[in-house]
Chains A and B, each alone.
Chain A
């Protein structure tokens, strides 16, 4: 039973590695900005999952702490990046729900 679980863990980790490489391809090729943001977010998720699996493969589940930290970091970094591209500044509170039309328009025109 333990043997089977180890095989399953290793196989899943390899499939995660393949997925990471595929996302890396999208990140390198991605024509628009939002492709890249999405690719980074998905890559972070894959890294978190891989870390969990890896720490179980080597028999020390301490890595789950780091995986949790990664998940938080991934979330915060994605929000920061998206905020930058909407407001061009960091001191805009997230609770401000209405959309500044001028900012959005300038974003749309400056999309690289």
Chain B
């Protein structure tokens, strides 16, 4: 049975889904929906990579795009605002021009690329064939890409891993590790670090305060009541904050 036509149709529908998701990412204002749509975008594009035989790229896309970056974007969104503010089109004309020029240059460069599966292309004619022939005896791994990545270029991959590790370590040193690690409290309109700060979620002081106020005030005179009020506030706040963020 010939499967080229159904596979082509599946590829076209996957690409159509990518276009729909991309347009929705640009148009939507709710940032949470945008983050969710980015996860969906990377899922669909990873499926499409599999259909193009790029299994390793699909693996990376699934791990990084759908997993890590969703969480990262979500944490960034929680530290920032929840909705995007629309920017007038006239402000972005310069960047729009740059994007259009870059896209046209990429379309121009497509003409120089070899055809899909071309036996005379650089990847299939030169040293690539030597790798494909030697992998079976030397590395004994069925996937040539894995063999090149992990064995022939093992030191290269190791160096990349070290670079990524050091980048993450630098970010950790910049953001956390000085006592603030894990104490970032997200607010709808900006960030607040935990600790004895001025303001955190305003809903905290609604319920536990009256109970505390009456117990603290009943011991004192009526005239001190107005003074005891501001003192009771930070107490309950810091307690609830330690409950929310400090537990690990």
Binding site for B on A (CB under 8 A): 3, 6-7, 10, 13-14, 17, 20-21, 24, 27-28, 30, 33, 36-37, 39-40, 43-44, 47, 50-51, 54-55, 57-58, 62-63, 65-66, 69-70, 73-74, 76-77, 80-81, 84, 87-93, 96, 100, 102-103, 105-106, 109-110, 112
Contact A76 B3, beta carbon cutoff 8 Å = no
A58 to chain B, nearest CB (A): 7
A40 to chain B, nearest CB (A): 5
Q: How far is the CA of A73 from the CA of B39 in the complex (A)?
A: 11
* Residues A106 and B203 in contact in the complex (CB < 8 Å), given A66-B62, A70-B43, A81-B70: yes
CB-CB nearest in chain A for B248: A91
Contact A51 B3, beta carbon cutoff 8 Å = no
- Among A50, A62, A88, A96, point to the contact of B186 (Cβ < 8 A): A88
- Among A47, A100, A105, point to the contact of B203 (Cβ < 8 A): A105
Q: How far is the CA of A110 from the CA of B185 in the complex (A)?
A: 14
How many B residues touch A, CB cutoff 8 Å? 58
Q: Does B157 contact A (CB under 8 A)?
A: no
Contact B63 A84, beta carbon cutoff 8 Å = no
Binding site for A on B (CB under 8 A): 1, 3, 6-7, 9-10, 13-14, 17, 20-21, 24, 28, 30, 32-33, 36-37, 39-40, 43-44, 46-47, 50-51, 55, 58-59, 62-63, 66-67, 70-71, 74-75, 78, 82-83, 181-186, 188, 201, 203-204, 206-207, 240, 243-245, 247-248
12 contacts across the A-B interface (CB closer than 8 A): A28-B33, A33-B32, A36-B32, A47-B46, A54-B50, A70-B66, A88-B78, A88-B186, A89-B245, A105-B206, A106-B204, A112-B82
Contact B47 A51, beta carbon cutoff 8 Å = yes
Q: How far is the CA of A74 from the CA of B247 in the complex (A)?
A: 26
* Residues A27 and B36 in contact in the complex (CB < 8 Å), given A20-B17, A51-B50, A63-B55: yes
Return chain B residues, CB-CB under 8 Å to A30.
Answer: 33
Return chain B residues, CB-CB under 8 Å to A58.
Answer: 3, 7, 51
Return chain A residues, CB-CB under 8 Å to B78.
Answer: 84, 88
Contact B182 A73, beta carbon cutoff 8 Å = no
Q: How far is the CA of A36 from the CA of B21 in the complex (A)?
A: 14
Q: How far is the CA of A73 from the CA of B58 in the complex (A)?
A: 13
Contact A80 B3, beta carbon cutoff 8 Å = no
Return chain A residues, CB-CB under 8 Å to B36.
Answer: 27, 36-37, 39-40, 81
Q: How far is the CA of A84 from the CA of B35 in the complex (A)?
A: 13
